[in-house]
Chain A
Amino acid sequence: MTEAEQRDFIQKKESKILKGNIAAAYAAKSARVQVISAYPITPQTTVVEKLSEFVDGGLMPGTQYIKVESEHSVMASIVGASIAGTRTFTATSGQGLFYMNEMIHWAAGARLPIVTTLASRGPAPPWNIWADYFDVINARDTGWMSAFCSTHQEIYDEILMSYKVTENPDVMLPKFVAYGGFVLSHTSKPVMIEEQDLVDKFLPPLPDEEGWEHIFIDPERPMMHGNLIMPSGFYMEFRMKIHDAMVRAKEKIKKVAEEFERMFGRSYGNGLVQEYKLDGADVGIVIYGDLALQMEQAVDELRDEGYKVGMLKLRYFRPFPEEDIRKAAKKVKVLGVVDRATAFGSPTGGPVSSEVKSTLHNSGIETKVLPMISGLGGREVTLEQQKDQLKILVKMNETGELPDDLLYGTLWHGKLEVE
């Protein structure tokens, strides 16, 4: 439980014991989404089951829920509904996200503020349905923002914050909110479901009758969208604007996290990252998603044992918070990066460690970076293993020694013993 959660619990404010998926469904309800489209996939399914109860039970009046026949149609119908000027929501996982990939690009290209939650799971084959962030990372270059959650409360909160960021006229980009399959989606914890009045005050109003500024369906103002555009047209400029918006989104994310804290009392660092005991640390570890929660405890215990260790929880993968990474790297001599995802053939470790390395490149920061890969496909990552990861960094700092089982410069931590 985060500090804010504990405080709320103590204050006996109304909280519910909810699974991560159910928290996501409550967030969609709190955000008054107007169109939901979904297709079942494990481990996301209970999000859309709960929403069916809400919609069919009359708790979300006016909301349209399309139960389509595939994920490709999920995103196609969401794109259609968003173009027509409604607030939209869907949820998916691994293979489902891969199948909707074409429409993912469409959503970003059309600059639609769609929010999609991912109960992230490992890609097949072999079939895998457990926590692994490869699915969201695979969508890196689609123009979608992507955030990781490490607690149940954070799922609810992040979805609310997402609508405020995506619907900002300076951003207008879709966004993924990813959390580990089963490890968060199917476990239960207390979650504060905020009062509707407060949520309404926090979020921007639902799109008005005219729809979005840049795209709309209005018989009075007929508009054509998505024409073929010649190389001499503005295609390149449109792409550049997506990049611009993504970079610009960083300031908005920070601002929204601040406003969120003011209104609801829960803090998520500066929105992009959360530092944990990095001040005065010799070594630090960059980590994201559910693994970050337990890593806090590993840091605490090692601190108690006298090790100067700290952690940087990465909340956003896109836009990537390079300033915060540099700031954190300056504080320590060795920085580990734990990926719960792969980047096959990458010379710089997993996907996030590649970003960290390229962020530090040519920055004049001498901090050494050790890429680690851990917990793929839901492989259990114990507290002891995480303490071990920190100790490897401490040893590396003290002796300059690298672990002897590095695979192409990356430590695959927590492998099975093979004879």
Chain B
Amino acid sequence: MIYFMVLSGMENWRLNKIMTSLKEAMNEACDEHFLPGNSCCAGCGLELALRWAMKALGDNTALVAPASCLNVVVGLWPKTAPDFPFVNMAFAAGAAAATGFDAAFKAKAHRFPQGPWKDMTAMTFAGDGGTTDIGIQGLSGAAERNTDMIYVCYDNEAYMNTGIQRSSSTPHGAKTTTTPFGKQQYKKDLPRIMEAHDIPYVATCSISEPLDLYDKFKKAKEIKGCRYIHILAPCPPGWGYSSENSIEIARLAIKTGSWILYEVENGVKTISKPSKRYMDPEKRIPLTDYISKQKRFSSVSEKTLIELQNQVDKNWKKLASELKCQEEYL
């Protein structure tokens, strides 16, 4: 049975392969759903993430936003920037509230078969604190139930909304207001945890690769069941760099190999195009190039730097052996 699922998954993966070119995107991704006039900081990673996600998902999407910057940047009452149904939610309640949406859509589809209800997408858009810390129980539950929803974590690697406190997604060595001398622990690898839930779709994205992000959301929209997308979304004030450099910083995370873009579709893992070349350690640029541009890493010692670089290399080795193993059983 599992073998069959993997095989059919493979097939789906081939069928669902989407590659939107820049030219195509210019034509089809013009609709804006997260509108101008919101109160994001200049260079905000979250804003780009949501904007591109909604371009791909389009109408018939209802969003749950557990406590995070998103609650604030969409506009203080009565101003609103999204032009789609948007519900603010308690911190730990992101996944479960979207589960409720999904159940209600299904109940309504039963009563009103002509309505839009069977085509509705329930989506949670949470920060890394709301996902990797306080929200993980609800997320894990929703994933285990394979709830028909998209869960998005926009990862700015700390509690930015409350003033830059460490989360379990904050990287080793990074300074936050609650790790004034740098975080001792390592970043929690949530996409991997979600992968272990055996849900139909897990993907990592970066705001520096909008077309890759756009494709992944378009693909996610077509899949039924629980879909998890983790987006690296740099934060200029939180990370300590100038706001015009958001894209560059996010791109450096990919070039140094510290953030890897991949997707796992029905158990089949593939490295996404922007990250593919960095499988070769020779192609990866030194981690210092990424770290030295951010004030949060300003007091990182030589030792920590080596540890961080080792972590990056180890992650890639793990990934390579995983892919090799996958090739064998496929």
Contacts and interface: CB of A to CB of B under 8 A. Distances in A.
B100 A76 contact: yes
Contacts of A69: 137-138, 140-141, 144
Given A81-B101, A218-B85, A228 B108 contact: no
B93 to A, nearest CB: 3
Interface string A216-234: 1111101111111110011
Contact of A73 (B61, B64, B105, B138): B138
B145 interface: yes
Contact of B110 (A62, A76, A85, A220): A62
A35 B112 contact: no
Interface residues of A, number: 47
B108 A209 contact: yes
Contact of B137 (A64, A70, A216, A224): A70
B298 interface: no
Contacts of B145: 66-68
Nearest to B100: A80
A37 interface: yes
A217 B93 CA distance: 17
B186 to A, nearest CB: 26
Nearest to B110: A62
A142 to B, nearest CB: 13
Nearest to B71: A228
Interface string A68-82: 111011101111111
A66 B76 contact: no
Contacts of B111: 34, 62, 206, 209
Contacts of A84: 62, 100-101, 104-105, 108
Contact of B141 (A70, A216, A224): A70
B252 interface: no
A76 B104 contact: no
Contact-size category for B: 35 or more
Contacts of A219: 59-62, 84-85, 116, 120
Contacts, number: 180
B85 A79 contact: no
Contacts of A64: 103-104, 106-107
Contact of B76 (A68, A80, A230): A230
B83 A222 contact: yes
A82 B83 contact: no
Contacts of A102: 90, 92-93
B87 interface: yes
B82 A224 contact: yes
Interface in B104-146: 104-108, 110-112, 115-116, 120, 122, 137-138, 140-141, 144-145
Contacts of B82: 222, 224
A149 B102 CA distance: 33
A400 interface: no
A72 B96 contact: yes
A23 interface: no
Contacts of B309: none
Interface of B: 59-62, 64, 71-72, 74-80, 82-90, 92-93, 95-101, 103-108, 110-112, 115-116, 120, 122, 137-138, 140-141, 144-145
27 contacts: A35-B100, A64-B106, A68-B96, A69-B138, A69-B141, A73-B96, A76-B89, A77-B96, A79-B100, A80-B97, A80-B100, A81-B101, A83-B100, A84-B62, A84-B105, A84-B108, A85-B108, A86-B107, A102-B92, A106-B89, A217-B120, A219-B60, A219-B62, A223-B86, A227-B77, A229-B76, A233-B76
